[in-house]
Structure 1
């Protein structure tokens, strides 16, 4: 049931309008690279997708490249841009809370190619300081990659300020905007970045499709060679139906964004107010500053309760889906959130934390159901505990 789903930062349900477009387009079966009628029909569908996506980002359609999702986009950007300095002692700046598709790619790049990476820290609320980025810049710094919004805490990073610094020094600036696109207005020129990655399944579209914005002044080396699709930079026959779904998801995001974000801000305030009344010592991991955080995300610490146990109980007993952190985590041994670790939380506090992320289908009834279910679960767990 959608109303019991509170894991929107992991993935979102399909918007009904997206479903309708996909099902109505099942007869578009041609290969977009073919010159005949069915092929050209498919090619027109891809052009439509590029136009709608560009409109959402306020970019030129020719600056957009479709991929399988945000992870591929991040890999391609880093490898495709940094390849020009192979064998050169190049320096890159990123943050300690980046998505694994950034951190792991840079780890392999630095190990194989001898490049150096500086990981700037975050403060106790999960924010990156633009001054920390400035202090990390070296003469050999060629790229800075800072995420726009964090998937675990909702912290919106000062990418615009960092981009101004980068451009003033001739440094390429990339942002992983997977958690931000569709949740906040984005204008790539005003943001000042040279590249930006996104994933359609985070904004009520199909999985397996995303993209990469790259400023027209730059051209990447291909990550996938072959048939010459995406203007020769990303080969592989296009997923036409998913791209039509992506086009509709972007169009709908533009229509719904203001209304949805206003509703989510109200839901977030209601949720926090009710949660704080549940248990002494309960706190929010991160900031509640509405100007600096996503409206849909609440990271919650409940003392004395294991987050994994609570999430499993809510799922089994009440059909509620919540998360204990990122769905893409490189910490497989202890299964601890590296984001919360970098914010200074100890292991016990991290294990007692829970991520709640809401979406356009969340309403007041759902919030009350969630809070009542958490209250019931806490009562259940406390009854099992020794005095």
Structure 2
């Protein structure tokens, strides 16, 4: 049941309006590269879709490259941009809490002889300091990649200020905005970044499609050679149905965003307030500042209760889906969240942590059901524990 789903940061259900558009577009089957009527119908459809997707970012359609999602976009951007210095080691700045598609790509680049990486730490609430980024800049710094919003804590990073610092020094700035696009207003020009990645399945659209915004004037090495699609940089016949679904998801996101954020902030306050009463030892991992965190995300710790056990019990007993955080860990044996580790949490608190991420289909009734289920689960675990 959709009302028992609290793992929206992993992926979102399809919006009914997106389903409808995809279903109604089944007769658009032509190859967009074909010159006949069916092909041109498809070409016009994806041209319109590209405009809707670009509009969500307040960017230009010509600055948008369609990919399979944020991970592909991050890989392509980092490898494609840094390739121009192949054979000449350069310096890159990123953060310790980046998504693996950024961390692992940069590690691969470094190990292949690309150069050096400086990792910017976070504070106890999971935020990056622009001053720390400024202090890390060197004469050979060519790229700075800092995520816009963290998937585990919801912390919104000061990317605009970091981009301003980088721009004043002629340094290319990229942001992984997968968790931000569709959840908060984004104006790429005002944000000041040179590139931005996103995934449509995070905003109630189909999986397997996303994009890369790249400011005009920059070029990347082609990701795929062949047919010349995506301005010759990513060849392959376009996924027309997914593109149309993506466009509708972006259009709907623009319509729903303000109303959804107001509701989610209310749900978040209600959830935290009631949880504090249910679990007096409750700790919040990160900040609850509505101006600095995503409205839909709460990362919490209930000391003495294993997060994995609580998540499994909520799933099997009540059909509730929550997350224990990132499955991609810097410690593969212990499977501890590297984000929470970098925030200074000890192993016991990390193991007792849980991420609850809500969405536009979450309502007050769902919150109360979740609270009642957690209260019942805690009573169950307390009965099993020795005094």
Does the CA contact (< 8 Å) of 2:327 and 2:335 recur in 1?
no
In structure 2, distance between residues paired with 1:188 and 1:331: 35
Q: Secondary structure at the match of 1:280?
A: coil
Does the CA contact (< 8 Å) of 1:100 and 1:330 recur in 2?
no
Paired position in structure 2 for 1:230:
230
C-alpha distance 335-327 of structure 1, shift in aligned 2 (>3 A): closer
Deviation at 1:331, TM superposition (A): 4.3
Q: Secondary structure at the match of 1:277?
A: helix
Which structure 1 residue ranges, 4+ long, deviate > 6 Å from structure 2? none
Deviation at 1:114, TM superposition (A): 3.6
Q: 1:363-382 residue pairs with structure 2 within 5 A?
A: 363-382=363-382
C-alpha distance 26-330 of structure 1, shift in aligned 2 (>3 A): farther
Paired position in structure 1 for 2:86:
86
C-alpha distance 177-35 of structure 1, shift in aligned 2 (>3 A): same
Deviation at 1:36, TM superposition (A): 1.0
C-alpha distance 51-139 of structure 1, shift in aligned 2 (>3 A): same
Does the CA contact (< 8 Å) of 2:141 and 2:171 recur in 1?
yes
Deviation at 1:330, TM superposition (A): 5.4
The reply to whether residue 157 of structure 1 matches residue 157 of structure 2 is: yes
In structure 2, distance between residues paired with 1:127 and 1:364: 30
Q: Secondary structure at the match of 1:113?
A: coil
In structure 1, distance between residues paired with 2:170 and 2:278: 51
Deviation at 1:333, TM superposition (A): 2.1
Paired position in structure 2 for 1:108:
108
Q: 1:315-354 residue pairs with structure 2 within 5 A?
A: 315-329=315-329, 331-354=331-354
**Greater displacement, 19-28 / 42-51:** 42-51
Q: 1:128-143 residue pairs with structure 2 within 5 A?
A: 128-143=128-143
Q: Secondary structure at the match of 2:355?
A: strand
Deviations 1:116-170 (A, max 9, x none): 0000000000000000100110000000000000000000000000000000000
Paired position in structure 2 for 1:213:
213
Q: Secondary structure at the match of 1:315?
A: helix
Aligned residues: 387
Deviations 1:51-108 (A, max 9, x none): 0011100001100000000000000000010000001121000000000000000000
Does the CA contact (< 8 Å) of 2:8 and 2:357 recur in 1?
yes
In structure 2, distance between residues paired with 1:302 and 1:216: 48
Does the CA contact (< 8 Å) of 1:10 and 1:326 recur in 2?
no
In structure 1, distance between residues paired with 2:38 and 2:339: 48
Paired position in structure 1 for 2:297:
297
Structure 2 unmatched ranges of 5 or more: none
Deviation at 1:328, TM superposition (A): 4.7
**Greater displacement, 112-121 / 252-261:** 112-121
Deviation at 1:367, TM superposition (A): 0.3
Q: Secondary structure at the match of 1:144?
A: strand
Q: Secondary structure at the match of 1:173?
A: strand
In structure 2, distance between residues paired with 1:183 and 1:48: 23
Paired position in structure 1 for 2:306:
306
Does the CA contact (< 8 Å) of 2:327 and 2:337 recur in 1?
no
Deviation at 1:238, TM superposition (A): 1.0
Deviations 1:238-293 (A, max 9, x none): 11100000000000000000000000000000000001111221110000011000
Does the CA contact (< 8 Å) of 1:95 and 1:145 recur in 2?
yes
Paired position in structure 2 for 1:74:
74
TM norm structure 2? 0.99
In structure 2, distance between residues paired with 1:179 and 1:114: 28
Structure 1 unmatched ranges of 5 or more: none
In structure 1, distance between residues paired with 2:214 and 2:114: 25
Paired position in structure 1 for 2:272:
272
In structure 1, distance between residues paired with 2:328 and 2:354: 15
Q: Calculate the aligned-residue CA RMSD, in Å.
A: 0.8
Deviations 1:26-65 (A, max 9, x none): 1111111111111111111211111001110000110000
Does the CA contact (< 8 Å) of 1:10 and 1:327 recur in 2?
no
Paired position in structure 2 for 1:356:
356
Paired position in structure 1 for 2:147:
147
In structure 1, distance between residues paired with 2:211 and 2:345: 34
Does the CA contact (< 8 Å) of 2:120 and 2:132 recur in 1?
yes
